[in-house]
Amino acid sequence: MARKRRKRVAEEETWHSAWAVPYGDLVTLLFAFFVVLYAVSSVNEGKYRALSSTLFTEFNGQKPPGSAPGSAPGARAVVRSFPAAATSSAPDSHAIFADTAVVTRKEAEEIARSQAESQALDKVASDVSTAMSDLIKSNLVIVRRKGTTIEVEIRTDILFPSGSATLSPTAVGVIRKLSQTLISLPNPVRVEGHTDSQPIDTTAFPSNWELSSARAASVVHVIANSGIDPARLSVIGRAQYSPAQSNGTAAGRNANRRVLIAILPPGNPDPGATTPQAPAGDLPPAAPVTAAR
């Protein structure tokens, strides 16, 4: 009797633990499934081709045709075309040949070029900051990097008298100093004039459009006369429609009266320009006015 009881208890214990084996297999398969999904979801074409080649090798028990013995994964691979395999059983319809070393090399070249451009922009920002360090400390000039563009924002307090587009002698020296850091660079330069929302109506400047454009043109003339190719330069007058701060306060209006010099990436045809532009050498000189602003 005792022997039968022990046997029954052993059978019950075995039955209660029998679920562990299929459960472990299921977890393992799910893990492998999601690993494959994660690997396939990568947008890196070179890695995708290498993974496809590895899967082809493992599931077929042989190396893909065309791969050299002992070659590194991804050096030359046969990539399995899964949609073709699902619709055709022809021996060669499910495989394509691709030299993934070429893809990888192109990707490396693009990364290296992007890094070189980024380092060049960082150097431009550093050189400009050094050249205008005194004004930066006085909060009259702000140098910042925005994506692939270096922006130099200059408050009009140090550039123009009130209601005027004629640069002060001090401002001319500041612009020339900035221009010296840009002469040896291939970067296009865009100059933007900004005003506050206070209206202006004079003979020279019927509105803020004319005032902002004339101020930007005055800055461009100094840059061009400093030795920079005028073909690299462009002018935009934005009036009061791109404020940096609210025009509801005196401090905000003062911050909005500014000239922004954008140093663009080399070869970039001025992506921020949305209005027709004229080369600096073709712009008429800005006329001084005495109206209060």
Establish if 289 belongs to a structural domain. Answer: no
26 CB neighbour count, 10 Å cutoff: 10
User: 131 and 100, same structural domain?
Assistant: no
List the one residue out of 23, 17, 3, 74 whose CA is nearest residue 45: 74
Token pair 């970039």 is found at 268
User: 125 and 256, same structural domain?
Assistant: yes
- Residue at a domain's end among 73, 104, 135: 104
Containing domain of residue 62, as a range? Answer: 2-104
As a 3-state breakdown, the chain gives helix, strand, coil percent values, each rounded to 5, of 50, 15, 40
User: 9 and 63, same structural domain?
Assistant: yes
Establish if 287 belongs to a structural domain. Answer: no
Q: How far is CA 41 from CA 51, 97, 166, 169, in A?
A: 11, 21, 59, 60
Q: Tell me how far apart the terminal alpha carbons of the chain are, to the nearest angstrom.
A: 112
86 CB neighbour count, 10 Å cutoff: 9
Hey, which bits of the chain come out as E strands?
77-80, 95-98, 141-146, 149-155, 189-194, 233-237, 258-263
Q: Which residues of the chain have pLDDT under 70?
A: 1-18, 40-49, 51-52, 55-104, 267-293
User: 75 and 168, same structural domain?
Assistant: no
User: 255 and 128, same structural domain?
Assistant: yes
User: 175 and 44, same structural domain?
Assistant: no
- The SS3 call for residue 235 is strand
Torsion sign across C-alpha atoms 196, 200, 206, 211: negative
User: 271 and 130, same structural domain?
Assistant: yes
User: 197 and 122, same structural domain?
Assistant: yes
User: 86 and 212, same structural domain?
Assistant: no
Torsion sign across C-alpha atoms 20, 22, 27, 31: positive
pTM of the model as a whole: 0.56
Domain count, the chain: 2
The CATH number covering residue 123 comes to 3.30.1330.60
- Residue at a domain's end among 104, 126, 157: 104
Q: Show the tokens assigned to 9.
A: 């208890």
Name the amino acid, one letter, at 197.
Answer: S
d(CA 266, CA 270): 10
Q: What is the DSSP letter of 275?
A: S
Establish if 33 belongs to a structural domain. Answer: yes
Length of the chain: 293
User: 89 and 66, same structural domain?
Assistant: yes
Predicted pLDDT at 51? 67
Q: What is the DSSP letter of 282?
A: G
Predicted pLDDT at 35? 84
Predicted pLDDT at 229? 92
List the one residue out of 228, 229, 200, 230 whose CA is nearest residue 212: 200
User: 128 and 96, same structural domain?
Assistant: no
- Residue at a domain's end among 74, 104, 134: 104
User: 147 and 84, same structural domain?
Assistant: no
